Amino acid sequence: MAQVHLTSSRISLIFDNGVNENGKPVTKAKSFANVAASATPDAIRQFADAYASLQQKALVRVTRTDLNDISE
């Protein structure tokens, strides 16, 4: 049976960066690599909120991307 092994994790904080000339929302992302595999969603959100409080732009979304190896 195949097994999954987490190899890396990254979070991205997406900030509101206004609107473009067509009136569509524009965002800007700040990414952080080497997130601990044990980081909980609550811990990630606390970090994101603390980081966002130091920024001028509003935090729109927080994402986590995990990279896994699948082996037998």
Model's pTM, two decimal places?
0.85
For 70, residues 6+ apart whose C-beta sits below 8 A from its C-beta are 2, 3, 4, 5
CB 48, CB 23: distance < 8 Å: no
Number of domains within the chain: 1
CB 19, CB 26: distance < 8 Å: yes
If pLDDT is split at 50, 70 and 90, which confidence band does 69 have? very high
What is the pLDDT at residue 37?
A: 87
For 11, residues 6+ apart whose C-beta sits below 8 A from its C-beta are 31, 32, 35, 44, 47, 48, 62, 63, 64, 65
Domain of residue 40, residue span: 3-71
pLDDT tens digits for range 13-43: 999 999 999 999 999 999 999 999 889 999 9
